[in-house]
C-alpha cells in the first residue's frame, strides 16, 4: 500500500482494535500491507498457517495475530479476535479519501425531459437517460452509462462508467453496478424453423433488489416473460452470465466466470465458486455450496458439491484419489496377469 500522511502509534492501533499489544506502544505506523510486501513502518496481519514462512520473513513493524499466537517473531504483535478484520479496520485509516461526485448533471449528458430525478443525483459526462426513467435520491451514474426507457433506479445507487440498463428494468436501493455491466439484454431464445433460427420475443424485465452488487462485465438477461430476479443482498463477481428468468436468492454469492442458464432457481445464502456452469431449469436449495469449475446438471438439495457432473464433495475427492491411483492399479493388474500367465 502506498504510504499515507497519517501516522498511528501501536498503542493507538491496539486501542482502536481492542487488541493486546506486545511491543513498543510509541512505534509509529504509516501504512498497512501484506506480510510479503510490508515495510519497516507498516503493519500486516497473520491468521492462516500456510503463511507461516511469510510471517517469519516479513519486514513489517507489527503484525495482527490470533489470541492464541505464541511464536517469537521480529515484529511487534497485536493479539486480536479477528486479525483480518482488525487489519481491514486500520488499513482504512491509511487509505486515501474516497472519490466523491458532486450532485448535478454534466452538460454533455442527455436527459429526457420526462425523467424524474431525486435529490442530490449526480450524472456524469455523456450519460444517456431515456424517457420515463426514475432516478432515486443520492444515486450516481458514471460517465458513458445508458439508462433505458422507464427504468427505475432506487436511492443511493452507484452506477460506474459504461453500464447499460435497458428498458423497464428495476434496480433497488443502494445497488452497485461496476463498469461494463449490462442489465436487460435479450434472453437467448430461438426456435429452428424452415427459414432458419427464429427469435423468440423477450418481453420481460430484470429486477434487482436492494443492496445487490454486480461485478464488471457481468450480464443479466431480461426474462422471456415475467422477470429475471436478483434478490436482496446478492453479490455477483466479474464476468458472470445470468440468463433469462433466473432467480438468485437473498445474500447468495457468485464468483467470476460462472454461467447460469435459463429458468434456474437458486436459493438464499448459496455460495458458487468460479467457472461454475449450471444448466437450465434446475433448483439449488438454500445454503448450498458449489466448488469452482463444477458442472451442475440436476437439482441440488444443500450440502457441498464439486466436479462435473456435480457430486457431494466427499465423493468427488474420493473419485479424484481413484483416478490418480489408476496407473498404480494397472501396474498391479499387469503383474498379476504375468504371474498367472494370462
17: its cell numbers: 482494535
Measure the CA–CA gap between 158 and 135, rounded to whole angstroms. Answer: 11
- Nearest CA to 38 out of 79, 75, 86, 89 is that of 75
Contacts of 223 (CB under 8 A, 6+ apart): 187, 202, 203, 204, 205, 206, 244, 245
120: annotated active-site residue: no
300: its cell numbers: 441440488
Cis amide leading into 66 (omega within 30): no
Measure the CA–CA gap between 188 and 206, rounded to whole angstroms. Answer: 14
Measure the CA–CA gap between 232 and 210, rounded to whole angstroms. Answer: 5
Measure the CA–CA gap between 126 and 145, rounded to whole angstroms. Answer: 7
Contacts of 99 (CB under 8 A, 6+ apart): none
Measure the CA–CA gap between 118 and 104, rounded to whole angstroms. Answer: 11
Burial track 306-336 (b if 16+ CB lie within 10 A, e otherwise) = bbeebeebeebeeeeeeeeeeeeeeeeeeee
Measure the CA–CA gap between 221 and 181, rounded to whole angstroms. Answer: 11
CB neighbours (10 Å) of residue 47? 16
Catalytic residue among 174, 244, 281, 319: 244
8 A C-beta contact, residue 305 and residue 289: yes
Query: Over the Cα atoms of the chain, what is R_g?
Result: 26
Q: Give me the active site residues, please.
A: 244
Amino acid at each position: 500500500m502506498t504510504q499515507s500522511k497519517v501516522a498511528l502509534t501501536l498503542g493507538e492501533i491496539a486501542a482502536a482494535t481492542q487488541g493486546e499489544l506486545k511491543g513498543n506502544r510509541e512505534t509509529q505506523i504509516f501504512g498497512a500491507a501484506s506480510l510479503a510486501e510490508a515495510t519497516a513502518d507498516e503493519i500486516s496481519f497473520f491468521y492462516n498457517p500456510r503463511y507461516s514462512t511469510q510471517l517469519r520473513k516479513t519486514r513489517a513493524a507489527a503484525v495482527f495475530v490470533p489470541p492464541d499466537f505464541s511464536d517469537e517473531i521480529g515484529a511487534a504483535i497485536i493479539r486480536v479476535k479477528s486479525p483480518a478484520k482488525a487489519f481491514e479496520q486500520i488499513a482504512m485509516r491509511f487509505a486515501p479519501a474516497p472519490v466523491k461526485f458532486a450532485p448535478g448533471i454534466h452538460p454533455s449528458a442527455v436527459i429526457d425531459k420526462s425523467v424524474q430525478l431525486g435529490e442530490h443525483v449526480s450524472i456524469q459526462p455523456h450519460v444517456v437517460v431515456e424517457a420515463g426513467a426514475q432516478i432515486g435520491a443520492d444515486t450516481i451514474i458514471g460517465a458513458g452509462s445508458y439508462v433505458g426507457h422507464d427504468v427505475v433506479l432506487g436511492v443511493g445507487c452507484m452506477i460506474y462508467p459504461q453500464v447499460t440498463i435497458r428498458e423497464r428494468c428495476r434496480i433497488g436501493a443502494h445497488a452497485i453496478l461496476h463498469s461494463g455491466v449490462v442489465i436487460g439484454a435479450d434472453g437467448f431464445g430461438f426456435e429452428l424453423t424452415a427459414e432458419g433460427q427464429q427469435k423468440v420475443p423477450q418481453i420481460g424485465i430484470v429486477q434487482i433488489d436492494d443492496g445487490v452488487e454486480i461485478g464488471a462485465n457481468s450480464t443479466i438477461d431480461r426474462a422471456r416473460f415475467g422477470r429475471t430476479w436478483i434478490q436482496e443482498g446478492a453479490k455477483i463477481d466479474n464476468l458472470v452470465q445470468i440468463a433469462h428468468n433466473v432467480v438468485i436468492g437473498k445474500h447468495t454469492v457468485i464468483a467470476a466466470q460462472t454461467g447460469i442458464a435459463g429458468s434456474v432457481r437458486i436459493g438464499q445464502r448459496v455460495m458458487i465458486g468460479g467457472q461454475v456452469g449450471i444448466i437450465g431449469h434446475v433448483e439449488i436449495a438454500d445454503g448450498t455450496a458449489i466448488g469452482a469449475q463444477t458442472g451442475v446438471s440436476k437439482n441440488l438439495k444443500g450440502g457441498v458439491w464439486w466436479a462435473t457432473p456435480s457430486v457431494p464433495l466427499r465423493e468427488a475427492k474420493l473419485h479424484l484419489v481413484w483416478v490418480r491411483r489408476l496407473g498404480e492399479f494397472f501396474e498391479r493388474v499387469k503383474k498379476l496377469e504375468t504371474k498367472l500367465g494370462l
